Amino acid sequence: MRALALLLCLAACAPVSRDLRVGSKRFTESRVLGELGVIVARGTGATVAPRTEFGGTMLAWNALRTGAIDLYPDYTGTIINEILAGESIESAEELTEALAQHGIRSTAPLGFNNTYAIGLREERAHELGIERVSDLAQHPDLKLGFSNEFMDRADGWPGLRETYGLPQSDVRGLDHDVAYRALESGALDAIDLYSTDAEIDYYALRVLEDDRAYFPRYDAVFLYRAELATTAPTLVRELDRLAGKISEDAMVAMNARAKLELVPAATVASEFAASQLDLHVLTTERTLAERLWLRTKEHLTLVLISLFAAIVIAIPLGILAARRERLGQVVLAITGILQTVPSLALLVVMIPLLKLLGAPSTYLIGSAPAILALFLYGLLPIVRNTHQGLKDIPGDLRDAAEALGLSARAKLWRIELPLASTSILAGIKTSAVINIGTATLGALIGAGGYGQAILTGITLDDTALILEGALPAALLALIVEYGVRSKTRDYS
- Binding residues for other proteins, rule: CB under 8 A, are 396-397, 399-407, 410, 414-415, 418-419, 421, 489-492
Which residue, 333 or 404, is less far from other proteins as judged by CB? 404
- The CB-of-400 to other proteins minimum distance in angstroms stands at 3
Which residue, 326 or 409, is less far from other proteins as judged by CB? 409
Which residue, 13 or 401, is less far from other proteins as judged by CB? 401
Q: Are 62 and 351 in contact (CB under 8 A)?
A: yes
Residue 205 sits at φ, ψ, to 5 deg, of -100, 150
- The CB-of-490 to other proteins minimum distance in angstroms stands at 8
Which residue, 397 or 479, is less far from other proteins as judged by CB? 397
Q: Are 314 and 386 in contact (CB under 8 A)?
A: yes
- The CB-of-258 to other proteins minimum distance in angstroms stands at 59
Q: Give the integer Cα–Cα distance in Å for 405 and 294.
A: 53
> What 3-state class would DSSP assign to 53?
strand
Residue 154 sits at φ, ψ, to 5 deg, of -60, -35
Alpha carbon separation from 70 to 9, 173, 197, 220, 224 (Å, rounded): 20, 31, 26, 17, 6
Cα angle: 2, vertex 299, 440; to 5 degrees: 90
- The CB-of-399 to other proteins minimum distance in angstroms stands at 6
Question: Which helix (H) or strand (E) element contains residue 174?
Answer: strand 171-174
- The CB-of-428 to other proteins minimum distance in angstroms stands at 18
Q: Judge residue 19's burial from the number of C-beta atoms within 10 Å of its C-beta, 0-12 exposed, 13-18 middle, 19 or more buried.
A: middle
Which residue, 108 or 417, is less far from other proteins as judged by CB? 417
Which residue, 170 or 399, is less far from other proteins as judged by CB? 399
Q: Can you give the length of the chain in residues?
A: 492
- The CB-of-311 to other proteins minimum distance in angstroms stands at 20
- The CB-of-1 to other proteins minimum distance in angstroms stands at 33
- The CB-of-386 to other proteins minimum distance in angstroms stands at 16
- The CB-of-388 to other proteins minimum distance in angstroms stands at 17
Which residue, 170 or 402, is less far from other proteins as judged by CB? 402
Output DSSP code: residue 226: T
Q: Give the integer Cα–Cα distance in Å for 71 and 104.
A: 9
User: CB-based contacts of 269: which residues, under 8 Å, 6+ apart?
Assistant: 32, 33, 35, 36, 38, 39, 254, 283
- The CB-of-487 to other proteins minimum distance in angstroms stands at 10
The count of other CB atoms within 10 Å of the CB of residue 119 is: 22
Which residue, 285 or 490, is less far from other proteins as judged by CB? 490
- The CB-of-318 to other proteins minimum distance in angstroms stands at 18
Which residue, 132 or 398, is less far from other proteins as judged by CB? 398
Q: What is the CB-side half-sphere exposure of residue 256 using CA atoms within 13 A?
A: 14
Q: Give the integer Cα–Cα distance in Å for 261 and 206.
A: 22
Residue 169 sits at φ, ψ, to 5 deg, of -110, -20
- The CB-of-422 to other proteins minimum distance in angstroms stands at 9
Helical H segments across 232-366, by residue range: 233-241, 248-259, 265-276, 288-323, 325-340, 343-356
Q: Give the integer Cα–Cα distance in Å for 332 and 125.
A: 55
Which residue, 154 or 404, is less far from other proteins as judged by CB? 404
Radius of gyration over alpha carbons of the chain, in Å? 26
- Minimal CA–CA distance to 226: which of 93, 42, 98? 98
Q: Are 273 and 245 in contact (CB under 8 A)?
A: no
Which residue, 343 or 423, is less far from other proteins as judged by CB? 423
Which residue, 333 or 397, is less far from other proteins as judged by CB? 397
